[in-house]
Structure 1
């Protein structure tokens, strides 16, 4: 879908310097509006609050992710249309205002694949009438992407996707620094910031610091918006709070938890910087090193038996080896644990990419909630954006694994993460497929997990195929340049393999103590068991010790295996343990003898 008006994307050589209110005033009613940063990192919260309070209306929200920025704008009744790939509040679950808007049907929601959105932004950036992209074979997503269609490639004559330009009126982003000429520095993962800025008529930036010309060159790994890519800049220290902006401060998960848990005040008011300024503990936490965290004494976990989440994490880790390249998606604690466990034990040469492939080749640092991003940022060999990692790694078939959770899987291994139909006829909106429709075929190995195996989650046919392994056999995959590997579905009862001959799921392993009849009773289709079906082994005591003490001391993996009702209690427990551990790390960083 092209923008309502065709406008020049050329900007002046020197951006305007103003304040946050000045930036907010530049957002027009009805703008095609994009937001930079992602997850809870570098979100332009202060500017979003100002825009929400400015009276801007009828925005067409266009971003890879919805999440907190979209919730802010929906509460302000500023959004008329939504175009995205995914919307989640990370460990806090599904965004309630997005769900209400999508389920009520008052606001149109258009689901994009990540690759189609990237290519549409690139078409706008490069002044092209369209861009090609690999088709999301096996899914229903091509028909859902605005303006996309399949045609034979003019040279290869094979079916290829094409998408028109996705032009933005306004793109807003928070960054670490700008210099006095208007060059803007981003440290860490770039999300889709550069593609979106290139597709936007105006780029509005808030920054933590404004420094003299030449000062940006003193920093190490960074990316630069040159001054002719930026329209206006405002100084806004703490402008991403309660999200993070490294190396200045980490995410305030406690503040986010409180904001999402209460309804007494509007969301923008609950996300203000405290009157006393940015909490000092967030600044100090941003300085904690991986070395300090690794030197901390292990938490006491006792000699309890292996839990389901630990058995699955260890079993997934066993799929990885020194030649693996594993990417952790948007909300994947279990995948993150499994990857780090493998790298810390039997696969030291494997490559792990986190923050949707924004942190490349990280070390397996412990998953302390408030420190995950900063430790991965410290240990990563390189930073990247979603657009360049697609080109360099995913589309090239270099990524071997990306283990992804699924709300609903059918007998053919097809996934639905878009929406479910209630018995009453209404919809239950799910987060969306993110980039899975694309990468389900691009990865060598196709690995899914369903934390709660039931007849509602394992069904005969999904209602919407948001992603699938459409290219399954070597004959289908090799002409596309993709390697052929395993296709597995992990649940809390068993492991399925997607059979290449029948293209149906077959049980190859059962969880310890689970009977075949239990699997049959909990599955919404007739179950077939492999002739060599066996019981999963329980992880060794050594493996459990590494998993519990070295990799996931707070037990973040448990969040994927509890009900919505139990989640709040578990999050409170994790946040308390997280704060205690971060305080210990801060003390140890300040005085090594204190550890």
Structure 2
């Protein structure tokens, strides 16, 4: 079955540099954490400084960690589900390397990667998974194949083990015996730990045996799963390490805008006081109403109208999962729960924080607030089985780069007019959840002929199981499929299998939609204007749910994005400093 993954009962305690020395050229190399949370940045810096080469980067997400390693010339290939810098957009080094061909990129669905890691963890030659029907992903996932289930004969996906040579991660604490404590959402950390030959961990602090239990809710990685540990206070900065410090968005923005090497931008800087203060702010410290950063217009703006219209899809029986980088959907979910759907369930951080309160979407505080109010903390590996594959989730409303008349999405790569490919972030888990979630919902903030095309270049996801009977046969609930844009609302018609316009945004005509769409548009017989909520709902959106205006980031063009991010970060920092003084 391959090399044993069994480790000694007691990990070594050593330095960050000694951990880095355990990473070898050519390793299949995983990174724990999630987006801008708990990335082992100091260890990544030490690995890059050693001049390691030909790493086979293998993780659910690329993002900042992959950018750091690409800058150092350490990576030969990348196996991932997506790569994004969150509100800062597409990672430039990843995009350039993928488009030039200097980086071999292999795209996975989230479920295929999870089951491949589980196969390694369970010492099995393969594991089955639900097919991403409606997408072209099966032909892209390394080693995946379609096979007949040996019991029922039904078609399933099958994936061989995905074994890691080395996994690096950052955690809150370790005790003196080597047990490691993870607080909050844990992404795919447990599955990756189980699939890794070496697990190298940095921690904020080392505490006596027995003290880990004092933290309350937590995940403990037992010492026989860990190879070596180094104490590294601030070792995740500029990403977060709760409860010690929040993500330093100001430092990230400065580094991305400067054009300097990331290693230079993040070298030997102390954790800033405002992110330490942000980590200490609790839900009870927040005011009921916030002043909005942006001047409130007399009439609702299109970002507010879209958020309110998406929120109207949700009710008390909804279970809505917030995708990796979806500010508009996140705002809509919180608005619904704060107004007409108080009993709905929201899961954030890719289902790492389950059943959160509708806390405001504040940049530095959202991770801590969601972790504090969540009924449960989890990882993507276990929530896929518990919620997604079980068909329990009703909505995951996701942004799409390119959509065709059949509702298929392309978030992988778009062909330019000269034949070259423009690399996109990747589909994450969209190919899986397009069928698993009861309601398939997408949004496009700027409706143009480039976004809505006759046929997508690559079908990275699609609602392959659309009819009620085929959904029930697969164990999923029948539901709706919709696309929300700044011009209209489409419905995926079950009979024709094509998009139909059901609703028009205020002031938008059929002619405007037709001209902005790259395929012949069909309008429903009862096509109508979008219904707007009352003024109180918009007031809640502006002053309680999204006072910083994060939703607006999805509606601005690239040349305006930097100024808007700067304004949001400045307002976020001022808010944290004010709340910090109030709670001191």
Question: Do Structure 1 and Structure 2 share a fold, with TM-score over 0.5?
Answer: yes
Match of 2:19 among 16, 23, 34: 23
Aligned-partner SS, 2:582: helix
Within-5 A mapping of 1:196-215: 196-215=192-211
2:405 counterpart residue number: 411
Match of 1:401 among 391, 395, 415: 395
1:94 counterpart residue number: 90
Q: In the TM superposition, what is the alpha-carbon distance from 1:272 to its structure 2 partner?
A: 2.7
User: 1:286 aligned to 2:282?
Assistant: no
User: 1:267 aligned to 2:262?
Assistant: yes
Separation (CA, whole Å) in 1 of partners of 2:290 and 2:81: 41
Within-5 A mapping of 1:343-492: 343-492=337-486
Within-5 A mapping of 1:578-593: 578-590=572-584
Contact 1:241 1:272 in 2 (8 A): no
Contact 2:289 2:543 in 1 (8 A): no
Kindly provide the CA deviation profile for residues 121-179 of structure 1, in whole angstroms up to 9, marking residues without a partner as x. 00001110000000000100011000000011000110000000000000000000000
1:517 counterpart residue number: 511
Match of 1:65 among 61, 67, 80: 61
Contact 1:314 1:539 in 2 (8 A): yes
Contact 1:512 1:538 in 2 (8 A): no
User: 1:151 aligned to 2:151?
Assistant: no
Contact 2:288 2:544 in 1 (8 A): no
Separation (CA, whole Å) in 1 of partners of 2:421 and 2:398: 23
Separation (CA, whole Å) in 2 of partners of 1:559 and 1:459: 24
Q: 56-65 or 209-218, which moves further after superposition?
A: 209-218
Separation (CA, whole Å) in 1 of partners of 2:290 and 2:413: 44
Q: In the TM superposition, what is the alpha-carbon distance from 1:302 to its structure 2 partner?
A: 3.6
Q: In the TM superposition, what is the alpha-carbon distance from 1:304 to its structure 2 partner?
A: 2.7
Match of 1:192 among 188, 207, 222: 188
Separation (CA, whole Å) in 2 of partners of 1:102 and 1:538: 43
Within-5 A mapping of 1:235-274: 235-263=231-259, 265-274=260-269
2:310 counterpart residue number: 316
Match of 1:219 among 211, 215, 218: 215
TM value normalised by structure 1:
0.97
Q: In the TM superposition, what is the alpha-carbon distance from 1:472 to its structure 2 partner?
A: 0.1
Separation (CA, whole Å) in 2 of partners of 1:296 and 1:487: 34
TM value normalised by structure 2:
0.99
Aligned-partner SS, 1:139: coil
Match of 1:180 among 154, 167, 176: 176
Contact 1:323 1:349 in 2 (8 A): yes
2:71 counterpart residue number: 75
Separation (CA, whole Å) in 2 of partners of 1:573 and 1:486: 37
Separation (CA, whole Å) in 2 of partners of 1:532 and 1:70: 49
Match of 1:135 among 125, 131, 135: 131
Match of 1:12 among 8, 11, 32: 8
Separation (CA, whole Å) in 1 of partners of 2:495 and 2:296: 46
Separation (CA, whole Å) in 2 of partners of 1:407 and 1:303: 29
Match of 1:122 among 118, 123, 141: 118
Contact 1:294 1:365 in 2 (8 A): no
Separation (CA, whole Å) in 1 of partners of 2:304 and 2:141: 38
Contact 2:400 2:443 in 1 (8 A): yes
Contact 2:396 2:440 in 1 (8 A): yes
Kindly provide the CA deviation profile for residues 40-92 of structure 1, in whole angstroms up to 9, marking residues without a partner as x. 00000000011011111000000000000000000000000110000000000
Contact 1:306 1:538 in 2 (8 A): no
2:548 counterpart residue number: 554
* Structure 1 residue ranges without an equivalent (≥5): 591-595
1:568 counterpart residue number: 562
Separation (CA, whole Å) in 1 of partners of 2:489 and 2:289: 36
User: 1:531 aligned to 2:525?
Assistant: yes
User: 1:49 aligned to 2:45?
Assistant: yes
Q: In the TM superposition, what is the alpha-carbon distance from 1:587 to its structure 2 partner?
A: 1.5
Aligned residues: 583
2:321 counterpart residue number: 327
Kindly provide the CA deviation profile for residues 497-537 of structure 1, in whole angstroms up to 9, marking residues without a partner as x. 00000000000001100110000000000000000000113
Separation (CA, whole Å) in 2 of partners of 1:419 and 1:182: 43
Q: In the TM superposition, what is the alpha-carbon distance from 1:473 to its structure 2 partner?
A: 0.5
1:593 counterpart residue number: none
Q: In the TM superposition, what is the alpha-carbon distance from 1:538 to its structure 2 partner?
A: 3.4
Match of 2:331 among 333, 337, 345: 337
Kindly provide the CA deviation profile for residues 345-372 of structure 1, in whole angstroms up to 9, marking residues without a partner as x. 0000000000000000000001111101
Separation (CA, whole Å) in 2 of partners of 1:179 and 1:347: 43
Separation (CA, whole Å) in 2 of partners of 1:297 and 1:415: 37
Separation (CA, whole Å) in 2 of partners of 1:96 and 1:533: 41
Aligned-partner SS, 2:316: coil
Aligned-partner SS, 2:364: helix
Q: In the TM superposition, what is the alpha-carbon distance from 1:576 to its structure 2 partner?
A: 1.2
Q: In the TM superposition, what is the alpha-carbon distance from 1:427 to its structure 2 partner?
A: 1.0
1:229 counterpart residue number: 225
Change in 2 beyond 3 A, CA 1:303/1:525: closer
Separation (CA, whole Å) in 2 of partners of 1:204 and 1:508: 53
Stretches of 4+ aligned residues off by more than 4 angstroms: none
Kindly provide the CA deviation profile for residues 423-467 of structure 1, in whole angstroms up to 9, marking residues without a partner as x. 111110000000000011000000000111011100110010000
